[in-house]
Structure 1
């Protein structure tokens, strides 16, 4: 996997471009990787932008419902709830998602 492919997939997740996300996932891009320049997960990005189809696809193809997005400091469940995505929050919970994923190491010293 090249970082460029991941960055393009991340941009596609933010934009709601399911075909492009599908292309990258089928090409082997890891949906759980967080690029050091971006520090966000494609799943949380798609949830925050309201792209339900992309979020569902990512979940169906290996995106962890437990992985906190480092920059946002949000779990997928927290992101879904923040955006009022009740159906996706229920789907995440059915997959074992919880609100209490550990904070990224670099944010642990910041106040909650």
Structure 2
């Protein structure tokens, strides 16, 4: 078995307790919550590297560019997925951290890495309304036509939340997106909130 503090007798660390230099809040990381990920790695030979990767996910989630740079400098794979398939870029895109996204992309992060549910960082940015991050991802080659496991494009996700700027941006890159149906045969316009001003844009 691997060596851990206290001769291996310590209980498994809970999310949010370990860092390489301070408290690292990671309770929101879906992979850790969903599958008890920290529990499964505690006490194994790979426990320390795994927790280092936990650090980059948390740092990206929290927009801590200095910490993200620290992990990249220590040769952490910027596209390392957690147990839900989320990468640091997914977390930074979801939470609107432009500088972190830019740094990750410039250091080899895969712009179209998929979560276990098939979502790309562009799906997350589009759903959460982060227009400039969506623009950044597209400029780095993110494919707006990719669909998640529900058959939804990033346009579906943006439309679902009524994000007009992102819908316009996506359609500039790929006008055919408005004709894509998800697995329930819904167009992006079918997901618009009631009284949305986007109907003319998406349904024309």
Deviations 1:31-67 (A, max 9, x none): 11214x4531100111111212211111111111111
User: Is 1:26 aligned with 2:102?
Assistant: no
Q: Secondary structure at the match of 1:4?
A: coil
Cα root mean square deviation, aligned: 2.4
TM norm structure 1 = 0.75
Task: Report the CA distance between 1:2 and its aligned residue.
Answer: 5.5
- Residues 1-112 of structure 1 mapped to structure 2, 5 A cutoff: 3-4=79-80, 7-35=87-115, 37=116, 39-70=118-149, 73-97=151-175, 98-101=177-180
CA distance in 2, matches of 1:11, 1:38: 15
Superposed displacement of residue 87, structure 1: 2.2
Distance 1:2 1:80 in 2: 26
- Secondary structure of the structure 2 residue equivalent to 1:43: helix
Aligned-pair CA distance for 1:100: 4.5
Please give the TM-score of this superposition, normalised by the length of structure 2. Answer: 0.44
The alignment of Structure 1 onto Structure 2 pairs a total of residues equal to: 104
Conserved 8 A contact 1:67-1:101? no
C-alpha distance in 2 between matches for 1:96 and 1:102: 15
CA deviation digits over 1:51-99, x for unaligned, max 9?
12211111111111111123x5320111121111122212211212414
Higher RCO, 1 vs 2 (CA within 8 Å, ≥6 residues apart): 1
Runs of 4+ more than 2 Å apart: 99-103
Bigger Cα Rg:
2
Structure 1 residues without counterparts, runs of 5 or longer: none
Segments of 5+ residues of structure 2 without an aligned counterpart are 1-76, 186-204
